[in-house]
Amino acid sequence: MKTRIFDPTRREVLAGLGAGLQVGFGASAAGLIAGGAGPLVTAQLALQARPATLALRPDQPLTPVWELAAVSHLGDVRLKRGDRCEVVFRNDLPVPLAPVWYGLNGPAAADPLRGRAPTTPDATETSVVSMPNAGTLLADFRLFEDGLKQPARPLSIIVTETNPVAVDRDVVLLIEEWRLRPDGTALPPGWDPKDTTPLYTINGQTSFELSASANERLRLRFINGSQRSVLAIKLESHEVQLMALDGQPAEPFPARNGALVLAPGARADAFVDAVTSAAFLLHDGKEARQVGRLTVSGKLERRVPLSPPQPLPPNDLPDRLDLKGALRFDVALGAADAGWIQPANFSTSSAPAFRAKAGRTVVLALKNPASVATVFHLHGHHFRLLDKLDDGWKPYWLDTLAIEPGQTQRIAFAAASPGRWLIEFVATDWAAPRLVRWYGVE
């Protein structure tokens, strides 16, 4: 077993993703700590990339899939803010892989970029990953989909706040999409989905069931683990109070019409006070369908009535951004002449999308020239979505954004983490390739 010590609080490494190229341990995992032992490890996590099956068709054979599993945990993976977690990753799939972490950021540092190779089949890698912020994270193989022979299931990772949050229960709802062939096998993303049927699951179930007592306050962590589709999820007959987006606390606000709209890879934490039994409805832009149900029974006795939810404790993100003195760049999403390339052919010898000095505010004008909605993901930093007049921003942080056809959205972030970082782009079309570029903070 090879042992490598990494520290994602320093920078995200990406030095290539194809055979013969170097790669960061996941797109958010890491920088090599040169010499000596690292700081004390406070948590452990054993991950395994392995074959699996799902019951996607009633009374039919199970569907083969691949998955990233936490074999060290019986239920959800729950770490604590401030943990330094020893991660042991075992690859039991026939292609080189590394977990890609969505939602990890790192503070400023000056270490040089050092790439690492993805984990080969039948090999094990050990790393140390820091958890500087509380939030809902996602780990999966998205960047390696070129080599996947089966669609792969991602893994939710919860980093809890230092002090308990005033809820009765904390539940993860991982939404996934599938394209089933007539023989019941599942088509990986990046292929023409003709002759397939779309199907959606929550926590691997085609009909998710959640039980609660009346008056119980639920923290529901919705994750769009789909590969291509922007999805809307709604719990009927309930007020849904949004508390965090993409793992970062937000000023609490009610979801419009009780529905959450999530791009692929996006996450949303919501508080819901269980009132009555109701359906979970999912809309994929074409039709609505019931994908689960909340069953409310009995009554949770309380001495004091529930008060409006208070904001979650803040993470280490700036209160203000200097838009007047910001560096500004135009980024045309998906344009081949702009340097976008499939991960298998990526190298950091290519020109960066932009460079910025550490400590500067960066404003990106993200232009979607495509005829369908596209999804942008920024590694290494969370960003603010700017108002149309560039005179303010929405009261939340994001790392993932869907952009309508022919539209331009402007985002801003504080370049706090020196290093080379990845940006991703994919069209909301199952057959569309995932494309990447990189940017530098110096």
Domains annotated on the chain, with CATH: 2-160 (2.60.40.420), 169-299 (2.60.40.420), 327-441 (2.60.40.420)
Q: Tell me what pLDDT residue 172 has.
A: 98
- Express each pLDDT in 299-336 by its tens digit: 777 767 788 999 999 998 998 899 999 999 999 998 77
Mean predicted confidence (pLDDT) in 401-428: 94
Q: Tell me what pLDDT residue 271 has.
A: 98
Q: Tell me what pLDDT residue 123 has.
A: 97
Q: Tell me what pLDDT residue 304 has.
A: 72
The answer on pLDDT for 263 being more than 80 is: yes
Residue 349 pLDDT class (50, 70, 90 cuts): confident
The answer on pLDDT for 276 being more than 90 is: yes
Residue 154 pLDDT class (50, 70, 90 cuts): very high
| pTM listed for this prediction | 0.89
Q: Tell me what pLDDT residue 144 has.
A: 87
Q: Tell me what pLDDT residue 270 has.
A: 98
Q: Tell me what pLDDT residue 316 has.
A: 86
Q: Tell me what pLDDT residue 294 has.
A: 98
Min mean pLDDT across 25-34, 56-65, 147-156, 278-287 is at 25-34
The answer on pLDDT for 35 being more than 80 is: no
Q: Tell me what pLDDT residue 390 has.
A: 67
Q: Tell me what pLDDT residue 106 has.
A: 60
Residue 295 pLDDT class (50, 70, 90 cuts): very high
Can you tell me the distance from the alpha carbon of 184 to that of 206, in angstroms, rounded to the nearest whole number? 14
Min mean pLDDT across 30-44, 80-94, 201-215 is at 30-44
- Express each pLDDT in 92-141 by its tens digit: 999 999 888 999 886 432 223 334 578 999 999 998 988 999 999 999 99
The answer on pLDDT for 274 being more than 90 is: yes
Can you tell me the distance from the alpha carbon of 54 to that of 41, in angstroms, rounded to the nearest whole number? 35
pLDDT more than 70, % of the chain? 88
